Amino acid sequence: MIKPRSSRLAAAVSLVSALALTATACGDDGSGMAGAKGAEGSGTGKIVFWDENGGVRTAIWKEIIADFEKANPDIDVQYVGIASTEAQSKYDTAIQGGGLPDVGGVGAAMVAGITAQDALEPLDGRIADSSLKGKLNEAMIENVRSAAGRDEVYTVPISATNGVLYYRTDLFEKAGLDEPDTWDEFYAAAAKLTDKRKNQFGYTIRGGPGSIAQALDAMYGQSGIQSFWDESGTKTTVNDPKNVKALEKYVGLYKKATPEADLNNDFTKMVAQFDSGSIAMLNHNLGSYQDHVSSLGVSKFRGIPQPELADGTRVMVSNPVSGLGLLKSSENKAAAWKFIEFAASHASNSKFSESAGLIPANKEAAKDPWLDKAETTKLGADALFSGDTRIVQLPYYLPDWNTLSKADSEAGFQKVLLGKTSAKEFLDTFAESLDEAQAEWKEQQG
């Protein structure tokens, strides 16, 4: 179960503050440390780019870099690929000791920590004065703005991996079921497509690592609550009676319409079960789309946005948006910004997003023909760009958010699945820790 967070949160905030002060004290020599003022530079010469998802996205980034260098022969971009699991620590080490890049890939979950150490340049003015003005998806802009915990944008959004409800079209057709557009249809399908004697289940619930994000998506999607905090901004809505009721219904699927082994399942096992045909529905993001295509082709499954409420309202929790940040210590910000602007342009963003199977941030790229062939991505983009989907912004800016929403709560969620803890008790405890973390954060902001 979640434990009170005050001591660990205070320590985390103090550490970030100390790192920022240390970097400011010794970083004015342009050595690439946080706090160094950097310079606009000549707009030519060498810049260093860190890809925070190196290996997975290396090939497409090198292609975009080649395009950029062809268009800007007086700028040389040095690519550095970093594994996603090591990106945060890589930034933290460089912030303390020097060696930060000019441009860095920064996921929404990392923005607040890096910004708190005075390492990222605010970008609102640059965006407004560039060819990107009015071209970036507003929901993604709001996501990265919210993630920083400040009323400024510190990364230019590149792509998003919104939550998806995958379902086996072959199994639905065999059972005479229509696509599960609403939550009522989702629950009805989960029950009808379950036959325990044949080891066939309507749904797979995520009970292992990563369970909380999926549970929150299901809760807010069903409750229709559209903000993570109340009007005062001090109390979370996570334990609102509507969310409690929604979680009770969601966990009620466990062992009735899901395998018992779901208690410890992560997304890898869930994807394998879905692709094998023993599971009819799966919640994950666009990241597993290509896995399904490789295993099933495109005729046996479909990926659609989260179900709607009966009145047509669709509510989803935010998924971290990947973006590019301009490091404040860069001595060549003019050239670095040229690269960011180029990478987020129509052509480059379309090329990147098509390769990765992600929703492009550039509005023009989101209209390109390739999305018609990538139906799941297109549906996600349509939902995000339509303005009809309500996005609940998760508090990525809280220093302890990752711990609160993972290590401290996943075991508690398993107890709810097992019936050892009620949904209300779990959410009340989660809410207490969140409110405490929010109060600590607000106090630090002055």
pLDDT band at 387 (very low <50, low <70, confident <90, very high): confident
Share of the chain above pLDDT 90, in %: 70
| Under 8 Å between Cβ of 165 and 306 | yes
60-87 pLDDT per residue, tens: 999 999 999 999 999 999 999 999 889 9
Amino acid at 193: L
Q: Given this model, what pLDDT does residue 33 score?
A: 64
Burial label, 423 (beta-carbon count in 10 A; 0-12, 13-18, 19+): buried
406-429 pLDDT per residue, tens: 888 999 999 999 999 999 999 999
Beta bridge mates, 391: 316
Of residues 375, 406, 386, the one with CA closest to residue 214: 406
Tokens of 401: 């958010």
47-60 pLDDT per residue, tens: 999 999 998 899 99
pLDDT of 116 over the 60 cut: yes
Whole-number Cα distances in Å, 224 to 118, 172, 182, 191, 432:
36, 27, 12, 23, 22
pLDDT of 145 over the 70 cut: yes
Which are the contacts of 318, defined by CB distance < 8 A and separation ≥ 6? 108, 143, 146, 391, 392, 393, 394
Q: Given this model, what pLDDT does residue 26 score?
A: 36
Beta bridge mates, 75: 45
358-372 pLDDT per residue, tens: 899 999 999 999 998
For the ranges 221-225, 282-286, 376-380, the one whose mean pLDDT is highest: 221-225
Sign of the C-alpha dihedral, residues 91, 95, 101, 104? Answer: positive
pLDDT of 9 over the 50 cut: no
**In the chain, what is the straight-line distance between the N-terminal and C-terminal CA atoms, in Å?**
31
223-272 pLDDT per residue, tens: 999 999 999 999 999 999 999 999 999 999 999 999 999 999 888 889 99
Q: Given this model, what pLDDT does residue 32 score?
A: 64
122 alpha-carbon distance from chain centroid = 20
Tally of CB atoms within 10 A around 13: 19
Rounded Cα distance between 89 and 407, Å, is 18
Lowest mean pLDDT among 141-145, 169-173, 179-183, 244-248: 141-145
Of residues 362, 431, 399, the one with CA closest to residue 148: 399
Tokens of 441: 């954060």
pLDDT of 108 over the 90 cut: no
Tally of CB atoms within 10 A around 174: 11
| Under 8 Å between Cβ of 165 and 174 | no
Which are the contacts of 170, defined by CB distance < 8 A and separation ≥ 6? 277, 299, 300, 301
Q: Given this model, what pLDDT does residue 400 score?
A: 84
DSSP secondary structure string for all residues of 53-113 = TTTTSHHHHHHHHHHHHHH-TTEEEEEEE--TTTHHHHHHHHHHHS---SEEEEEHHHHHH
Rounded Cα distance between 427 and 236, Å, is 10
Classify 438 as helix, strand or coil: helix
| Under 8 Å between Cβ of 419 and 32 | no
pLDDT of 344 over the 60 cut: yes
